[in-house]
Amino acid sequence: MKKGVGEIAAARFRPGQRVRVKDARPERIARLHLRTPHYVRGRMGTVERALGTFPNPEDIAFNRPAEPRVLYHVLFDQPPVWNEGEAGDTLLIELFEHWLEEA
């Protein structure tokens, strides 16, 4: 049975798991509407929790059929991301599963 919007299908990543954001640059190949910030691509973070399953906004932007994807809260240390801040400063970002890989 297919999971609906908001339901969490078999989430690949678990809370506390270290992940890396893929350092892909598909927008250089085709006109895409990406929902992953450039400043965290290639960076390591920690999964805080799975938020649910939602249609892929990269497809919705172009009125294409959008497969449901698991969305996560991923926590990053702030100083390495922006080269500012103090130890303990963090950044929490929502990222879809297809942009994450095991660290």
Asked whether residue 30 is domain-assigned, the answer is yes
Would residue 10 count as lying in a domain? no
pLDDT tens-place string over residues 3-31: 555 566 689 999 999 999 998 776 555 55
Q: How far apart are CA 79 and CA 96, in angstroms?
A: 23
For residues 21 and 33, the model is more confident at 21
> Which amino acid is present at 50?
A
91, 6 Cβ separation under 8 angstroms = no
Cβ-contact 36, 21 below 8 angstroms: yes
Given this model, what pLDDT does residue 36 score?
84
Task: Grade residue 57 by pLDDT with cuts at 50, 70 and 90.
Answer: confident
Residue 52: closest CA among 17, 13, 12, 7:
7
CATH number for the domain harbouring residue 24: 2.30.30.50
How large is the greatest C-alpha to C-alpha distance in the chain, in angstroms? 47
- Considering the domain boundaries, does residue 1 fall inside one? no
Residue 12 in any domain: the answer is no
pLDDT at 10: 82
Number of independent structural domains in the chain: 1
5 in a structural domain? no
Domain that holds residue 66: 18-102
Residue 40 belongs to some domain of the structure:
yes
